[in-house]
Amino acid sequence: MKGTPLHRQLYPQVIAAIALGVLFGWLAPEYADRDWVRALGEGFVKLIKMTIAPIIFCTVTTGVAHIDDAKKVGRVGVKALVYFEVVSTFALAAGLIVAQIIRPGEGFPGRPDAATVAQYAGKAAEHHNLLDFLLDLIPDTIIGAFARGDILQVLFFSVLFGFSLMAAGERVHRLRAFIDDAGHAMFGVIGIIMKAAPIGAFGAMAYTVAHYGLDSLRSLAWLVGSFYLASALFVVGALGVVARLAGFNILRFLAYIKDELLIVLGTSSSESALPRLMEKLEQLGCSRSVVGLVVPAGYSFNLDGTNIYMTLATVFIAQALGVELTGVQQFTIIGVAMLTSKGASGVTGAGFITLAATLAAVDPRLAPGMALLLGVDKFMSECRALTNICGNGVATIVVAAWEGELDREKLAEALTPTQGRANEFTPSR
C-alpha cells in the first residue's frame, strides 16, 4: 500500500502475529494451550462468519436483480459447475499422482484404532446421502438459514429473491437500493473486523502448536510435506495454466490476495477471507453478479484443497496398512471423492468427514487408518483452506472472462506489481 508504513499494513502484521504465535506455542505450551488463547482465534473466525450470510444475500440479490436477462443467472451457474468439475478432477488426480510417486505411507509404523474414528464415520454417513444433500439446499425457514450461516441455503434464497426483485421492476427500486446500501454497510463492518486479524492469527497458531505439539507434526512430516507439495504443484501448475489461458499471471494474483491468504493461514478457515475475497475480485474487474454467484457456490462445489487431501490421504493410508489398491480402485477414489466432497460444506472437520466417506466406499479395510491422521490433520487444514481460496479466486476470474463480464483494464492495472494499490483493500460499496 503506497505511502503507508510497513507496520501499519495488514499482511506484515499477520505474518508477525503468526510467527509470534508459533514461538509462544512452542516455548510456552503450558500457557498457550488454554481456552483464552484458543478463544482469540475462534472469536475472530466467528466475527467473520457472522457477516457472511448478510454479505452473500446483499451481493447475490442485487447482482441478480440488476441482470436484464434472467437466463444469464442459469448460464453463469452452469459454466461455474462445468469449471468446478473439470478442475476438481485435476485436483484429485494431483493428490493421487504425488502419493504414488513419493509413497509417504510405505513402512509407516503406526497402529490405527477403528474406535477413534467411529464418530467421523457416523457423521460421514449422515451428511453424504445425495438426496438429503439436495433437500438440505432448501432451508426449513429463511431465518434458520441465516441463523445457521448455511452458505448454500442463503445462496438459494438470495437467487430466488433476486429473481423476484427483477420481475417486480421499478416498483421495488427502493428495496433494491436499500439492499445495496446494506451491502456497503456490511463491507464497512468487515473493514472494522479485519483490524483484529493479527490477534486472531496469533491465538489460532499459538493454541494449535501448543495443543497438538510439533512432535506430532514431525512424526508424519513426510505425509504433510507431500500434501503441501501436491497443493503447491496444483496451484502453480494446473491453476497457473488456467490463469494463463484466461489472460493473467497466477503468481501476481496470489500476490494480489496475499492478505487474504495470510488470514486463512492463521485461522485455518477459508471462510474467514470470503467477504474480502469477494470485494477484491470485484475490484479486480469481475462483475458483481458473477462474483456473487461463483464465490459462494465455490465454497461448496470447488474444494480443490480438500480434493487433493482426500486422494493423497487415501493412498497414504492404503500404503501404511499394506493394502494394495488396484487400478480400478484408484479410479474409484477419484469418482467417489468427486461426489463426497460436494456434501460437506458447513460441516465441522469437513475434510476429515469426507475422507471417512471416501474410504468406506473404496475399501472398508482402510477406514481404521484414519486414526493415523488425527495428530496432523490440523496442520494440513491450513493448506486445504489456502488451496480452496486460491481455486475459488481463479474460478471467479475464469467464469467472468468466459461470460464476458471481466474488465481487462482493471485486471491488468490491479495485477501490475508497480501499482501501489494492487493489494489495497478499500470497501467500494
Q: CA 391 from chain center: how many Å?
A: 8
For residues 56 and 308, what is the distance between their CA atoms, to the nearest angstrom? 27
User: Exposure pattern of 161-199 as b/e (b: 16+ CB <10 Å)?
Assistant: bbbebbeeeeebeeebeebbebbeebbebbeebbeebbb
Measuring CA to CA, which residue among 412, 244, 125 is closest to residue 422?
A: 412
Residue 303 predicted with pLDDT over 50:
yes
Mean per-residue pLDDT, 342-371: 64
User: Exposure pattern of 384-415 as b/e (b: 16+ CB <10 Å)?
Assistant: bbbbbbbbbbbbbbbbbbbbebbbeeebeebb
Reported confidence tier of residue 1, pLDDT bands at 50, 70, 90: very low
Measuring CA to CA, which residue among 68, 74, 64, 94 is closest to residue 315?
A: 94
Q: Does residue 231 sit within a domain?
A: yes
Residue 370 predicted with pLDDT over 90:
no
Residue with more model confidence, 395 or 365:
395
- What integer pLDDT is reported at residue 120 of this predicted model? 47
Mean per-residue pLDDT, 406-411: 93
For residues 287 and 400, what is the distance between their CA atoms, to the nearest angstrom? 7
- What integer pLDDT is reported at residue 409 of this predicted model? 92
Residue with more model confidence, 117 or 166:
166
Report DSSP state, residue 286. Answer: B
Reported confidence tier of residue 347, pLDDT bands at 50, 70, 90: very low
Reported confidence tier of residue 339, pLDDT bands at 50, 70, 90: low
Question: What confidence tens digit (pLDDT) does each residue in 259-269 have?
Answer: 899 888 877 77
Reported confidence tier of residue 232, pLDDT bands at 50, 70, 90: very high
For residues 66 and 48, what is the distance between their CA atoms, to the nearest angstrom? 27
Report DSSP state, residue 239. Answer: H
- Percent of the chain exceeding pLDDT 90 equals 23
Residue with more model confidence, 39 or 425:
39
Distance in angstroms between the alpha carbons of the first and the last residue of the chain: 20
Q: Does residue 423 sit within a domain?
A: no
Question: What confidence tens digit (pLDDT) does each residue in 54-90 have?
Answer: 888 887 788 777 666 667 777 888 898 899 989 999 9
For residues 205 and 23, what is the distance between their CA atoms, to the nearest angstrom? 9
Residue 204 predicted with pLDDT over 90:
no
Q: Does residue 426 sit within a domain?
A: no
pTM of the model: 0.71
- What integer pLDDT is reported at residue 188 of this predicted model? 84
Q: Does residue 429 sit within a domain?
A: no
How many other CB atoms sit within 10 Å of the CB of residue 95? 30
For residues 104 and 313, what is the distance between their CA atoms, to the nearest angstrom? 10
Residue 221 predicted with pLDDT over 90:
no
- What integer pLDDT is reported at residue 401 of this predicted model? 94
Q: Does residue 155 sit within a domain?
A: yes
Residue 34 predicted with pLDDT over 60:
yes
Reported confidence tier of residue 396, pLDDT bands at 50, 70, 90: very high
Residue with more model confidence, 9 or 394:
394
Q: Does residue 86 sit within a domain?
A: yes
Query: What is the DSSP code string of 356-369?
Result: HHHHHHH-GGGGGG
Total number of domains in the chain: 1
Helix (H) or strand (E) holding 255: helix 250-256
Mean per-residue pLDDT, 330-338: 79
- What integer pLDDT is reported at residue 243 of this predicted model? 95
Mean pLDDT of the chain: 80
- What integer pLDDT is reported at residue 283 of this predicted model? 92
Backbone φ and ψ of 418, nearest 5° = -80, -10
Pick from 73-77, 191-195, 405-409, 422-426: least confident:
422-426
Q: Does residue 422 sit within a domain?
A: no
State the cell numbers at 268.
Answer: 485455518
Reported confidence tier of residue 250, pLDDT bands at 50, 70, 90: very high
Q: Does residue 153 sit within a domain?
A: yes
Residue 338 predicted with pLDDT over 60:
yes
Q: Which domain holds residue 195?
A: 6-414
Residue 378 predicted with pLDDT over 50:
yes
Residue 424 predicted with pLDDT over 60:
no
Reported confidence tier of residue 236, pLDDT bands at 50, 70, 90: very high
Mean per-residue pLDDT, 202-208: 84
Between CA 59 and CA 73, with CA 396 as vertex, the angle to 5 degrees is: 55
How many other CB atoms sit within 10 Å of the CB of residue 421? 12
User: Exposure pattern of 6-41 as b/e (b: 16+ CB <10 Å)?
Assistant: eeeebbebbbebbeebbebbeeebeebbeeebbebb
* Burial class (CB within 10 angstroms; exposed 0-12, middle 13-18, buried 19+) of 348: exposed
Residue 125 predicted with pLDDT over 70:
no
Helices 197-219, 10-27: axis angle to 10 degrees equals 50
| Dihedral sign of CA atoms 350, 131, 303, 226 in order | positive
Reported confidence tier of residue 371, pLDDT bands at 50, 70, 90: low
Residue 412 predicted with pLDDT over 80:
yes
CATH number at residue 118: 1.10.3860.10
For residues 127 and 274, what is the distance between their CA atoms, to the nearest angstrom? 23
